[in-house]
Amino acid sequence: MADTVQFELVAPEKLIFSDDVELVVVPGSEGDFGVLPGHANLISTVRPGIIEIHENGQAKERYFVAGGYAEVTAERCTVLSTEAMPVDAIDRGAAEKRLEAAELDLRDADDDAARSRFEDAVGVARAMVETAGA
């Protein structure tokens, strides 16, 4: 068996990352999970957070994802996210502004559908600010 998994991080606009990696850690909605070659088949939702790509036992690259889905098989791991970017590319100021705007929206939300949507937006923005601060 190959000693790498083929990892792909895909956003609606483009393929962000696609390469063979040794280990990738995905923030699943029910807890982070690491994917090594030969992982059991799994489809999971992903919460807003950081995907870590490891090489030689160290985190090599870190990507922020705004939630989405992960599909894992023995050979590959695919993460679909509505928004994804390298952690270094996050602008802390912009992220804080976005959090503020989202919180304002949430306060003004008048029905359940809108409220749950804005709650998601606040969650994403908050995770973004935390990531930028770390």
Partner 1 sequence: MATLKSLRLRINSVKQTQKITSAMKLVAASKLKRAQNAAEAARPYAERMERMLGSLAGAMGGRDDGPRMLSGSGADQTHLIVVCTADRGLCGGFNSSIVKGARAKVAELRSAGKTVKIYTVGRKGREQLLREFSDLMIEHKQDIGRRGPEFFEAAGIGEELTALFADEQFDVCSIIYNRFESVMSQIVTYQQLIPFAVDADDAATEPEAGEGAYDFEPDETEILEDILPRNLGVQVFRALLENAASEQGARMSAMDSASRNAGDMIDNLTLEYNRSRQAQITKELIEIVSGAEAL
Q: Closest distance between partner 1 and the C-beta of residue 126, in Å?
A: 19
Give the binding range for partner 1 (CB under 8 A) out of 24-32, 49-57, 99-107, 125-133: 24-32
Single residue of 3, 57, 93, 113 touching partner 1 by CB under 8 A: 113
Single residue of 1, 3, 41, 58 touching partner 1 by CB under 8 A: 41
State the burial class of residue 67 (Cβ atoms within 10 Å of its Cβ: 0-12, 13-18, 19+). buried
Residue 9: count of CB within 10 angstroms of its CB: 25
Under the criterion CB under 8 A, does residue 107 sit at the interface with partner 1?
Answer: no
Contact criterion met (CB below 8 Å) for 4 and 18 = no
Residue where the block lists tokens 């679909």:
80
Distance CA 23, CA 26 (A): 10
Under the criterion CB under 8 A, does residue 8 sit at the interface with partner 1?
Answer: yes
Under the criterion CB under 8 A, does residue 103 sit at the interface with partner 1?
Answer: no
Tell me how many degrees the CA angle 78-113-49 measures, rounded to the nearest 5: 35
Q: Footprint of partner 1 on this chain (CB under 8 A)? A: 8, 10-15, 28-30, 40-45, 69, 71, 73-74, 78, 80, 82, 113, 117
